[in-house]
């Protein structure tokens, strides 16, 4: 499969392997590096080195090999299906479920459950370990996630992720009381220089924009709605911590102890809105707040 990518002004200077891994959903960074080493990534018909720095306006051609047949095992794990047709399935993922196999989580993932539920009807664009997966949410984040049942739908939805027309709305409980009723965090995100397992707001990070608004205020906590304009790793968690209001229960970016009896951050993917790949019409899918989230709000007590 041949794919192309045109560099924007904000991406100028970034390494080609990192750029492709982020913008082309079929690739991980290690896969991108292997393709570059094999001469499968070119600029004006010339192969590149993996440390090549991109320039705004340049158009890169990427030859992505056909996906290998998956060796994953389908598992009969119950799914809360919020929307499904011949092209798309939207699942309400429970907190604690990993999206796809990774070190330490070889099975019992959302992918294993989707393979059982959908059979052969999952796209191969995401690679052998991520069939159908268009985007991801953290293990300890609950809520809506979309998967594609064929390659056409996958590419169509991935394009919407790239141009920010696939709208994602979350609800969260953050520590502290926000002064304003709404706001925007516009702060670039990249790997934390001190800890590569964490993300952080850094000057040379990738553009990241989160819009937020207050739903309710409690004594020392705020229930907020967050709308993603971009989709960086851990974006809401990093941005809210950056403005001094980390997510309740986030032991990585927030308080280093469990709070209100909650393990895992209080973050729920509440709504997805996307253009359907077959009809071109907008589809809006919403989910109720899960019990753990409702229990936290109940423990917080009366609003202020």
pLDDT of residue 103: 67
| Inter-axis angle of helices 16-23 and 29-37, nearest 10 | 130
Mean pLDDT of all residues in 27-32: 74
- Asked whether the domain spanning 67-163 has the same topology as the one spanning 2-63, the reply is no
CB 71 within 8 A of CB 81: no
More confident residue, 70 or 85: 85
Q: Among candidates 171, 108, 99, which has minimal Cα distance to 140?
A: 99
Mean pLDDT of the chain: 88
- Which residue, chain included where needed, has tokens 């590096």? 33
Mean pLDDT of all residues in 57-74: 73
Q: Among candidates 96, 102, 97, which has minimal Cα distance to 127?
A: 102
pLDDT of residue 270: 98
Kindly give the residue spans of alpha helices, DSSP state H, lying in the chain.
16-23, 29-37, 110-118, 151-163, 235-242, 291-300
Band (pLDDT 50/70/90 cuts) for residue 27 is low
- Give yes or no for residue 214 having a pLDDT over 90: yes
pLDDT of residue 61: 85
3-state secondary structure of 160: helix
- Give yes or no for residue 26 having a pLDDT over 60: no
Among 115-129, 146-160, 251-265, the range with the most confident prediction by mean pLDDT is: 146-160
pLDDT of residue 71: 66
Which pairing describes strands 267-275 and 142-148: parallel, antiparallel, or unpaired? parallel
Distance of alpha carbon 288 from alpha carbon 296, whole angstroms: 14
Q: How many CB atoms lie within 10 A of CB 153?
A: 24
Q: How many CB atoms lie within 10 A of CB 260?
A: 14
What tens digit of pLDDT does each residue of 9-22 get? 777 888 888 888 77
pLDDT of residue 63: 80
Global confidence as pTM: 0.76
Handedness of CA 253, 10, 139, 215 (dihedral sign): positive
Q: Tell me the percentage of the chain whose pLDDT exceeds 90.
A: 53
pLDDT of residue 129: 61
pLDDT of residue 19: 81
Active site residues: 138
Which residues are CB-contacts of 24 (< 8 A; sequence separation ≥ 6)?
Answer: 3, 5, 32, 62, 64
Mean pLDDT of all residues in 82-90: 96
pLDDT of residue 68: 52
Q: List 102's β-bridge partners, or say none.
A: 105
Q: Among candidates 237, 74, 220, 107, which has minimal Cα distance to 170?
A: 237
Q: Which CATH superfamily is domain 2-63 in?
A: RNA-binding S4 domain (3.10.290.10)
pLDDT of residue 29: 76
CB 137 within 8 A of CB 145: yes
Which residues are CB-contacts of 37 (< 8 A; sequence separation ≥ 6)?
Answer: 50
- Give yes or no for residue 232 having a pLDDT over 70: yes
Band (pLDDT 50/70/90 cuts) for residue 222 is very high
pLDDT of residue 289: 97
What tens digit of pLDDT does each residue of 146-197 get? 999 999 999 999 899 888 889 999 999 999 999 999 999 999 998 888 886 7
Mean pLDDT of all residues in 76-83: 96
Domain ranges in the chain? Answer: 2-63, 67-163, 169-269+293-300
pLDDT of residue 67: 52
Start-to-end CA span in the chain (Å) = 56
Mean pLDDT of all residues in 5-11: 77
Distance of alpha carbon 1 from alpha carbon 20, whole angstroms: 15
pLDDT of residue 128: 60
Q: List 277's β-bridge partners, or say none.
A: none
- Which residue, chain included where needed, has tokens 């906590």? 221
- CATH fold label, 169-269+293-300: Pseudouridine synthase (3.30.2350)
pLDDT of residue 25: 55
More confident residue, 60 or 243: 243
Distance of alpha carbon 37 from alpha carbon 39, whole angstroms: 5
Which pairing describes strands 142-148 and 88-93: parallel, antiparallel, or unpaired? antiparallel
Which residues are CB-contacts of 224 (< 8 A; sequence separation ≥ 6)?
Answer: 171, 172, 173, 174, 178, 212, 213, 214, 215, 240
Question: Does the structural domain 67-163 have CATH classification 3.30.2350.10?
Answer: yes
């Amino acid at each position: 499969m041949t794919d192309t990518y045109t560099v924007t002004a904000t991406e100028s200077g970034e390494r080609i392997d990192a750029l492709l891994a982020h913008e082309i959903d079929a690739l991980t960074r290690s896969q991108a590096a292997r393709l570059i080493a094999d001469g499968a990534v070119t600029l004006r018909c010339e192969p590149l080195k993996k440390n090549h720095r991109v320039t705004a306006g340049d158009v890169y051609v990427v030859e992505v090999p056909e996906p290998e047949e998956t060796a994953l095992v389908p598992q009969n794990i119950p799914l809360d299906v919020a929307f499904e047709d011949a092209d798309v399935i939207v699942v309400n993922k429970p907190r604690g479920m990993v999206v796809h196999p990774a070190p330490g989580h070889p099975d019992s993932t959302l992918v294993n459950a989707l393979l059982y539920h959908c059979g052969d009807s999952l796209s191969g664009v995401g690679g052998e370990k991520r069939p159908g997966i268009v985007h991801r949410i953290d293990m300890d984040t609950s809520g809506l996630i979309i998967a594609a049942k064929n390659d056409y739908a996958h590419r169509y939805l991935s394009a919407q992720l790239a141009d920010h027309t696939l709208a994602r709305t979350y609800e969260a409980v953050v520590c502290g009381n926000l002064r304003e009723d709404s706001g925007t965090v516009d702060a670039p995100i990249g790997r934390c220089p001190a800890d590569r397992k964490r993300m952080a707001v850094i000057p040379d990070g990738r553009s990241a924009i989160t819009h937020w608004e207050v739903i309710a205020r409690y004594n020392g906590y705020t229930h907020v709605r967050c709308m993603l304009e971009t989709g960086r790793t851990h974006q809401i968690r990093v941005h809210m911590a950056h403005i001094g209001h980390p997510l309740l229960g986030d032991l990585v970016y927030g308080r280093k102890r469990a709070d209100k009896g909650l393990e895992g951050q209080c973050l729920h993917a509440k709504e997805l809105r996307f253009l359907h790949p077959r009809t071109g019409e907008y589809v809006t899918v919403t989910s109720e707040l899960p019990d753990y989230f409702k229990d936290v709000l109940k423990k917080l007590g009366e609003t202020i």
